[in-house]
Each structure stands twice: as structure tokens, then as C-alpha cells.
Amino acid sequence: MKLAEFIRSNSDQILQEWEDFAEKISDVALPRWLLRDHAAAIIKLIADRMEAPALPVEQRLEAAVEGGPGPVQNVTAAHVKIRINSGFDLAQITAEYCVLRACVSRLWRLKDPSGFEAGAAEITRLAELVDENVTAAVVDYKEREGQYRDRFIGILGHDLRNPINAIFTGATLLTNERIDQRQRNIVDRILNSTRRLTGLAGDILDFARGRLGSPMPLTIARRNAGEIIREVVDEVQLANPGSVIDFESRGDLNGRWDAARLKQLVSNLLVNAIQHGTGKSVLVKAESHENFVLVQIHNEGPPIPEDSLATIFDPLVRRDTRSSDSTGLGLFIVNEIVSAHGGSISVTSSPSAGTTFVVRLPRGQA
């Protein structure tokens, strides 16, 4: 018996094993129709295509990668959509196809040994067709993942910031009213909290973009890095009167940068230096080189543990677990900003020399 004919004759058992496996790997209980969804159509399509003339496997896989319209792409996309909505991830969806291939081969070997022994070419053909389906599933999954990513970023950028802005505007208006000192203290706390929420929303938005594949947006213009850094130093100094921030600059510090992102970078590093150093003094240096500007931020105090240096720029890593003010995203976002500008960042830390972050920023457009 040919393999295509065998698949059609045993489709009920194959479907049952598909359903059993899908039920096993699902995190929630699903109805039978949802466990099978388009399985019957996928199995029938594979059987039909085993008997039809076909292009070389390389061309078919290339077409699957490009995601163009076709019977494989259509039925696979429908299956992927239902699986995503049912909570399946890419590994679970891919595993379904692997189990399908193993199931067909095993049943053919058990029920039709002679056909199986003579069917090496058909087994190869089955593997190629399943691989084509898997490729199409991965492509469609990534496309839908991108849609969910954009929706998630849109929610952060719009639905979250709008109410925060409304609270901030309302509290700002209250500062112009005749209110007593107790009420003014409450309004000040609201304003400070909304400023922090705005910063957190921005950090989460940058984290989402970086982790989900979207490049950090930049608005590049010719600016002087020294002037930008001086402005940030003055702002952070004002907010931390107990610390002394010294700034030294040397040479031509002009280049093409995103000024807002560069401010965010320096501010994050300064706040990090104050929080994790002695809190008394921080030294900031900016010096000119031929094609880049070098920025160094140094603080004394406890060194960064050696085993933490390798993950210092990873997201959601908090060096000080006692602090509830940190999301663990500050240094990750610094690294993203540096990378978006085509630069590099490094850190050294020891008990005797303190901690120094070194940022290398090319002068050209990112």
C-alpha cells in the first residue's frame, strides 16, 4: 500500500493520536473540535500532495519562508491562529507536526511492514512535506507575534500614558488653587508619583521594543554632547543635593545624536552611580577622539560582584534587591541606546579603583 493511501485509510487513528497529543501539551482543557481544529485538512493535504508532482524541496521551503499564498500556507495559518488563541507557543505547535510524522511512520511500519520496507522514498517525501508545513507555521507564528508586539507597544504608548498625563495635568492645575499646606503636600506626592509612572512607562516601552525586535526610535541631529551632559548633570545634582557630581570635558564634542536618548543614557548612569556608590561623589568625563566621543562615569564604593559583570546589562537584573524604586531596566536601556547609536559600553569595577562605565559614541549618524 502506498503511503498516501495508507494515510487516508488510517486518518481516524492518526487524528485521534493528534488530538491526544494536543490535549497532553495544552495548559488548559480544550474541547475536542479545538484540539483537532484543522488537523484533518492538514493530513488530507499531505496525502494529496504526496501523489502530486512537486517542485524541488528547496524551492517549496523557500516559498514557505516567504509566506506567499497557497494551500499549505492557508491551512497552516488557520491552525496557527487557533493554537495561539488557545495558549500554544511555537514549540508546542512545532511538536504537533513532529508527532504527526512519527505517528504516520510508526503506524505504517506496524500495519503494513512490506509497504513500509519498500517506501523509503515516500518516507522522505513525507518528511519534506511535514517540514514545509512546519516552516509555514513558524513564518505565520512570527507574523502574528509581530502583530501582538505592535498591539502591546501601542497599549503602552497610548492607553497607559493617556491616564497618567490626565492625572499629571489635573494635579498641576491644583497647584494654582488656594489649598492649604497639607493639601499641597498631597498634590506634590501625586506629581512626583506621576513623574515616576511616566518614567516607568517609558522604560517598559523601551524594554518591550528591545526584547520584541523593534529598533529603538532615534531623532538624530547635530548636537554638542558636552552641553547635553552638562544639562543632565545639573538636573541630577539638583535632585541629589547630598552628592557632588563633577564634570570634566575636553576637545570637540560635536556629533550627530538623539539628544533626548543621550540625556536618558547619562541620567540612568548617574543615578546608578549615586545609588550604588558611596552616594557622596561622582565624576563624569567627556573627551574627544577622532571619530567618536568617550564618556566615562565613575563612582567610589562597593564594587560590582565579579559574577554580576557578565549580566550587568541584562534586563530585569537588580543589583540592589533592597531598593523598590528600580525596575532593573536602567542599564539595559542604556545599552540599547548605545547600540542604537552604533556605539559600545563597558564597565570595570574593583574595591580599590571603584566602578567606571565607559561609553564610546561614534560621531556619525546611527
- Shared domain check, 315 and 250: yes
The amino acid at residue 22 is A
Q: Where are the beta strands (DSSP E) in the chain?
A: 221-224, 244-250, 254-257, 281-288, 292-299, 344-350, 354-362
Give the CA-trace dihedral at 228, 231, 234, 240, to 10 degrees.
Answer: -70
Contact 297, 356 (CB under 8 A): yes
Kindly write down the DSSP assignment for every residue of 264-278, as one continuous string: HHHHHHHHHHHHHS-
Chain CA centroid to CA 316, Å = 12
The dihedrals phi and psi of 296, each to the nearest 5 degrees, come to -125, 135
pLDDT at residue 321, as a whole number: 45
How far are the Cα atoms of 161, 162, 166, 177, 194 from residue 171, in angstroms, in the given order?
15, 14, 9, 10, 9
Dihedral (CA of 148, 153, 91, 85) sign: negative
- Shared domain check, 165 and 79: yes
- Shared domain check, 99 and 44: yes
pLDDT at residue 214, as a whole number: 62
Contact 132, 64 (CB under 8 A): yes
- Shared domain check, 235 and 188: no
Kindly write down the DSSP assignment for every residue of 140-185, as one continuous string: HHHHHHHHHHHHHHHIIIIIIHHHHHHHHHHHHHHTTS---HHHHH
User: Could you give the CA distance from residue 126 to residue 358 in angstroms, rounded to a whole number?
Assistant: 55
User: Could you give the CA distance from residue 50 to residue 137 in angstroms, rounded to a whole number?
Assistant: 19
DSSP secondary structure code for residue 118 in this structure: T
Of 213, 247, 271, the last residue of a domain is 213
pLDDT at residue 322, as a whole number: 42
Of 187, 213, 239, the last residue of a domain is 213
pLDDT at residue 223, as a whole number: 92
224-263 residues labelled b (16+ CB within 10 A) or e (exposed): bbbebbbebbeebbeebeebebebebeeebebbbbbebbb
- Shared domain check, 246 and 207: no
User: Could you give the CA distance from residue 133 to residue 127 in angstroms, rounded to a whole number?
Assistant: 10
Q: Compute how many other C-beta atoms are within 10 angstroms of the C-beta atom of residue 150.
A: 12
pLDDT at residue 366, as a whole number: 44
How far are the Cα atoms of 14, 44, 111, 325 from residue 120, in angstroms, in the given order?
20, 20, 16, 63
- Shared domain check, 188 and 296: no
Q: Which domain holds residue 358?
A: 221-362
Contact 265, 337 (CB under 8 A): yes
- Shared domain check, 157 and 91: yes
- Shared domain check, 129 and 42: yes
Per-residue pLDDT of the chain (366 residues; tens, 9 = 90+): 889 999 999 999 999 998 999 999 888 788 888 888 888 999 999 999 888 887 777 777 777 777 667 888 888 888 888 888 888 888 888 899 989 999 999 999 999 999 888 888 888 888 888 988 888 888 888 888 777 776 766 666 666 777 888 888 888 888 888 888 888 889 888 888 887 777 777 777 776 666 555 667 788 999 999 999 999 999 888 888 889 999 999 999 999 999 988 998 999 899 889 988 887 899 999 999 989 999 999 999 889 888 888 888 887 665 554 444 455 678 888 988 898 899 999 999 999 999 999 999 999 754
Q: Compute how many other C-beta atoms are within 10 angstroms of the C-beta atom of residue 118.
A: 11
- Shared domain check, 46 and 10: yes
DSSP secondary structure code for residue 342 in this structure: T
Of 186, 213, 240, the last residue of a domain is 213
pLDDT at residue 246, as a whole number: 95
* CATH for 312: 3.30.565.10
User: Could you give the CA distance from residue 169 to residue 172 in angstroms, rounded to a whole number?
Assistant: 5
Number of domains in the chain: 2
Name residues whose C-beta falls within 8 Å of residue 94's C-beta, 6 or more positions apart in sequence.
134, 137, 138
- Shared domain check, 314 and 182: no
- Shared domain check, 239 and 183: no
DSSP secondary structure code for residue 281 in this structure: E
The dihedrals phi and psi of 338, each to the nearest 5 degrees, come to -60, -45
- Shared domain check, 195 and 132: yes
pLDDT at residue 350, as a whole number: 92
